């Protein structure tokens, strides 16, 4: 049994919630007056202030924030047909657990093989992300990759149908020409 097709309309509220949570992590540069700086110095405390040229958002501190980053990252290319599936799968993995994420991933069976392969590559990218191990997300992605294999969805690029033939070396070409008069190109 195949899962229903996930549309951009299904994924839009998920993205809106993730973006709202991510916006709360925005680094805001604050300009302090000279009097405030002196008072902080007298009290031996540092004024909280991210650098002007620092990152726009603070780094994630939990698995949920890491998944929110993946959702916002994918939504930037929302015109691509696999984006709603990845957004809903990431949200399910973050907030509803492995079973819900596997259920969301089953909708990949409705995609074309080339898009299925793209989804698989995104799962592999999430698995190899530098922070995935730090938050324990790699285990969740491993569950999704296992479900992918169980569903027998493509794990290779369907555009590549055969191996590229090895180029013949000069002595192989010369020997073939002597033996049977083959084309020596």
Please state, as a whole number, how many other Cβ atoms lie within 10 Å of the Cβ of residue 61.
11
Confidence of residue 7 (pLDDT cuts 50, 70, 90): confident
* pLDDT of 183: 55
Same domain flag for 49 and 128? no
One domain, residues 123 and 98: yes
Query: Quick one: average pLDDT of 70-74?
Result: 92
For residue 51, name the pLDDT band (cuts at 50, 70, 90). confident
Number of Cβ within 10 Å of residue 92's Cβ equals 22
Quote the pLDDT of residue 56.
86
In b/e form, how buried is each residue of 107-140, taking b as 16+ CB within 10 angstroms?
Answer: bbeebeeebbbbbbebbeebbebeebeebebbeb
| pLDDT value, residue 162 | 73
Whether 175 is covered by a domain: the verdict is no
Residue 145 has pLDDT above 70, yes or no: yes
- Are 114 and 85 within one domain? yes
The reported pLDDT for the residue numbered 1 is: 41
Say if 64 falls within a structural domain. yes
The answer to the question of residue 183 being in a domain is no
Are both 31 and 102 inside the same structural domain?
no
Q: What is the DSSP letter of 95?
A: I
How large is the average pLDDT for residues 80-107? 91
Task: State residue 18's pLDDT score.
Answer: 93
Q: Please check whether residues 132 and 152 belong to one and the same domain.
A: yes
């Amino acid at each position: 049994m195949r899962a229903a097709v996930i549309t951009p309309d299904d994924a839009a509220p998920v993205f809106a919630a993730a973006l709202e949570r991510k916006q709360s992590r925005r680094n805001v540069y604050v300009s302090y007056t000279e009097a405030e700086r002196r008072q902080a110095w007298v009290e031996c405390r540092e004024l909280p202030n991210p650098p002007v040229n620092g990152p726009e958002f603070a780094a994630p501190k939990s698995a949920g924030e890491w998944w929110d980053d993946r959702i916002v990252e994918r939504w930037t290319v929302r015109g691509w047909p696999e984006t709603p599936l990845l957004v809903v799968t990431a949200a399910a993995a973050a907030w509803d657990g492995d079973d819900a994420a596997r259920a969301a991933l089953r909708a990949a069976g409705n995609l074309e093989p080339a898009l299925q392969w793209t989804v698989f590559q995104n799962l592999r990218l999430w698995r190899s992300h530098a922070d995935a191990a730090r938050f324990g997300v790699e285990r969740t992605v491993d569950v999704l990759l296992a479900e992918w294999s169980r569903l027998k969805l493509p794990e290779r690029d369907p555009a590549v149908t055969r191996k590229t033939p090895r180029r013949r070396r000069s002595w192989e070409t010369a020997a073939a020409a002597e033996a049977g008069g083959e084309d020596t190109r």
